Amino acid sequence: MKKECKDCGAELTIPQDSMVGEIITCPDCGTDFEILSKNQDTVEMREAESVGEDWGQ
């Protein structure tokens, strides 16, 4: 599935097996998008949260 990067207009490829919550990174501008919902034909995304200082494992 293909989407357009909201920031730079580049083409984003959404892998078939991707899941809600996964991050898709724009290959051109590096913006991260989080998959909000996904079905056979459509995928909804929003800009992902930026990495926080408290992020970790």
Partner 1 sequence: MIRICIIYDKLRFEEKKIYSKIKEKGLDATLVDGKSITFDTESSKRDPVFGDIILQRVISYTRGLHLTYCLEQMGLPIVNSFNVSEICGNKLITSMILKKNDVPTPKTTFAFSTESARECMKNLGYPLVVKPIIGSWGRGVYQIKDQSMAEMLLDRRQDNDNSYSRIYYLQELIDRPSRDIRCIVIGDEIAASVYRYSSENEWRTNVAVGGRTEEAPLTSELQEIVLKASNAIGGGILGVDLMEDKARGYLVHEVNNTVEFRGASAVCRSDIAGAMTDYLLKRSTK
Rule CB under 8 A: is residue 37 a binding residue for partner 1? Answer: no
Q: Which residue shows structure tokens 């580049």?
A: 10
Whichever of 8 and 23 has its CB closer to partner 1, that residue is 23
Binding of residue 20 to partner 1 (CB under 8 A):
yes
Cα dist. 20→36, 38, 39, 43, 49 in Å? 6, 7, 10, 9, 15
Q: Minimum Å distance from CB 57 to partner 1?
A: 5
Binding site for partner 1 (CB under 8 A): 19-23, 34, 48-49, 52-57
